[in-house]
Chains A and B, each alone.
Chain A
Amino acid sequence: MKRFIGFVTKEFYHIFRDKRTMFILFGMPMVQIMLFGFAITNEVNNVNIAIFDQSKDSETQQIINKISASKYFKIESQITHEAQIESIFRTGKVKAVLVFEKDFIQNLQNKKTAKVQVITDATDPNMANTITNYINAILQNYSQEINTNSKPLYQIQTQTQLYYNPELKSVFTFVPGVMTIILMLVSAMMTSISITREKEMGTMEVLLVSPIKPFQVVIGKVFPYIFLSIINATIILLLGIFVFKMPIEGSLFLLALESILFIITALSLGILISTIAQSQQTAMMFSLAGLMLPVIILSGFIFPISSMPVPLQIISNIIPAKWFIIIIKAIMLKGATIHTIWKETLILIGMTLFFIAVSIKKYKIRLE
C-alpha cells in the first residue's frame, strides 16, 4: 500500500508538471463543451428572412406580424421584385424568403385557399429543413385560428408530442457526446501515452527490475487517471446542468456508476494500446486515429447509426462509446433504470474484460 501511494504521488507530479497534459485534462473539456453547446447548434434562432408580399393586405400583414413576433425569425428586408430573390440569397443576408401570392385575401375569402411560398437557402440543408418546418408550423397555427369561427365539417388533427427533448435542444445530445469523447480521450490516450513514456525513457526497465509487480505498475499509472476522469465527468455534467439546463431524469448514482465503468473500459483500452505501441508518438496516433474518429463518427454522437449503411452499423457495435452514449442518454433524458440498460452495461463490462485479457496475454508474450 505504501508503495502504491508513492507510485501514485509520482504519477501526479508527472501530470501536474506537464502543461500540455494539464490542458488536455482540464482545458479541453471546457472548450469542447462550450463549443458544442454554444457554437454548433441545429436550433433556429433569430434567422434573417425576407418577405416578398405581392398582395399587401390585412391578412398577409397579420401573418408577417406573427412570424416576426416569434423569436425564431427576424425580418431583414421586404422585397418588391421576383428578381431580387436570387440576389438577396447571393448576398447571404437571409436564409429564407416568404412569398405571398397576388390577391391573397381575395383568394382566401373566395376560394377558401391562398398560397404562400417558402424559399430557403439549402446550401445548409439541415437549416433549410428546420426553417421550413418552423414556418409551416406558424402558418398552420394561424390557419387554425381563423378556422375556429367557421368550423369545417371534417378535420384530422395531428398532435405532435416530442418526448424527452420537447424543444429539440441539440445540447441534449452534445453533452453526453462530449462527455464520452473526453472520457475516452483522457482515459485511453493519456494512459497509453504515460505508459509508453516510461518505456521510451528507460524507466520502465528499472521498474520491471524492481520488486514492484507489473500489475502494480499498471494500476499505479492508471489510478490517477480514474480520479481525474471522474472529476472531468463531474465538470461536464455540472456545465450541462447549470449552463445548458440539461435534465437528469434518472438516478445520479447509476449515472456515476456507468461513467466509472466506461472510464475503466477506456483505461483498459489505453493499457492495450500501450502494450502494442513502443513510443509516445505511436500511442498518440493509435489513440487519435484509432479511437477519436470512430468515437465521433460511429458512436451515434453526431450521425444517427440507424441511417448508416449496414456494414457501418455492424462496425459501430464494437465501439464502446456507442454503448455508453446509449446508456447516458437513457439515464439523463429518459430516466432509465438498470432494468432497461443492463444489456448495454454488460456489453461494456465484456469489452473491458476482453481488453484486459488481451493486454495480459500480450505482456506475457513479451516476458517470455
Chain B
Amino acid sequence: MNQEKIITVNNLTKEFGSFTAVDGISFDVYKGEIFGFLGANGAGKTTAIKMLIGISKPTSGEALVAGFDVKTHAEMVKKSIGYMSQKFSMYDDLTIKENITFFGGIYGLSRAKIKEKTTQLIQDLNLQDVADKLVKALPLGWKQKLSFSVALLHEPKIVFLDEPTGGVDPITRRQFWEMIYAEAHKGTTLFVTTHYMDEAEYCDRVSIMVEGKIEALDSPKNLKQKYNVDSMNDVFLKLARNVE
C-alpha cells in the first residue's frame, strides 16, 4: 500500500465546557486507503469527523487533511474533500440532473465539466430513464448511490462517509461497497464510519474509538489476532466491555 500520508492527526482534542468529547487522538491515514472509523454512539466519532471536515474547531492539537491544517485552512480542506452523511442529503424536490448541477456548481466546476460529469454519472448508475425525475421518487438504495457519486463529483482526494449504508438493504450495501472499492482503486482515500461490523471487515485499517480515545488501530486481521477472536464484532464488543 501507498505510504503517503493524506491525513495526519496529532493529539486532537475537543472540549465542550468540562466535557471532553475527543480526548487527544492521534493517527495517520494513507493515500488510497479505506479507513474504518468505528465507535459506539457517543464515543466522539461525529465530533472527530466534524473537526476533520472543517466545520468544528479543535480545542487543541492539530490535524492535517490533504496537507491543510483544519484550524487555519478549513476552506482549502473543504475543497479537497467529499462528504456524504447518513441522512440522505440531496434535494428531494429537484431532479437528479438539477441536483448534480447544483452540487457541481457549489464546488465551482465549470459548466462543461458539470455536463460531462452528469452524462457519465447517469450512465454509470444506469439512471437514464429517471434523470429528469424528482429525486423524491427514487428508492433509498439508489439515492445513497447517487449521494456517493455526487460527493465524488469534484474528484476529491478524500471522501468522508458517515454511516453511508444506514437503512439500506444487504444487496445495495454490497453494491455500495463495490463502488467504494472501485474508488479506492483510483487512489481516492475513503474515511468511513459504520455500525455494521461486517463492513468493518472490508476496510484496510480500522480504528475503534471508546470514550473519546482511540483504543485500537490496525487491520481487521491483526485486530482479530490480537484480541483472539473470530470477527470484528467480537473485537468491538471486547473493547467496549473493557470500559464498563
Contacts and interface: CB of A to CB of B under 8 A. Distances in A.
Interface of A: 2-3, 5-7, 9-10, 13-14, 17-18, 201-203, 205-213, 367-368
Nearest to A13: B94
B88 interface: yes
A208 B98 CA distance: 19
Contacts of B103: 206, 210
21 contacts: A3-B105, A5-B105, A9-B102, A10-B98, A10-B102, A14-B94, A201-B87, A201-B89, A201-B91, A202-B88, A203-B89, A203-B90, A207-B106, A208-B55, A209-B55, A209-B160, A210-B83, A211-B78, A211-B107, A213-B75, A368-B57
Contact of A7 (B81, B89, B105, B107): B105
Interface residues of B, number: 28
B128 to A, nearest CB: 22
A226 to B, nearest CB: 20
A18 B93 CA distance: 8
Nearest to B162: A205
Question: For the complex, would chain A's binding face be called helix, strand, loop or mixed by DSSP majority?
Answer: helix
Contact of A14 (B53, B57, B91, B105): B91
A209 to B, nearest CB: 4
B94 A211 contact: no
- Which of A2, A7, A211: most chain B CB closer than 10 A? A211
Contacts of A207: 106
Interface in B58-113: 75, 78-79, 81, 83, 85, 87-94, 98, 101-103, 105-108
Given A209-B54, A211-B107, A202 B89 contact: yes
Contacts of A7: 102, 105-106
Contacts of A201: 87, 89, 91-92
Contacts of B94: 10, 13-14
User: Interface SS of chain B: helix, strand, loop or mixed?
Assistant: loop
Contact of B106 (A14, A17, A212): A212
A27 to B, nearest CB: 19
A211 B91 CA distance: 18
B56 interface: yes
Contact of A210 (B85, B98, B107): B107
A313 B160 CA distance: 55
Contact of B78 (A3, A202, A209): A209
A219 to B, nearest CB: 13
A6 B101 contact: yes
Contacts of A211: 75, 78-79, 106-108
Given A10-B98, A14-B93, A201-B87, A209 B107 contact: no
B167 to A, nearest CB: 13
Interface in B14-64: 53-57
B21 to A, nearest CB: 13
List 9 A-B pairs, minimum CB-CB distance, nearest first: A202-B87, A6-B105, A209-B83, A206-B89, A212-B106, A211-B78, A202-B89, A10-B102, A211-B79
Given A10-B94, A10-B98, A206-B103, 9 more contacts: A7-B105, A9-B102, A13-B93, A13-B94, A18-B93, A202-B87, A203-B90, A206-B85, A209-B53
A6 B106 contact: yes
Nearest to B59: A368
B149 to A, nearest CB: 14
A234 B56 CA distance: 43
B83 A367 contact: no
Contacts of B106: 3, 6-7, 207, 210-212
A251 to B, nearest CB: 40
A367 B57 contact: yes
Contacts of A13: 91, 93-94, 98
Contacts of A5: 105
Contacts of A18: 93
B102 A6 contact: yes
A7 B94 CA distance: 12
A160 B102 CA distance: 64
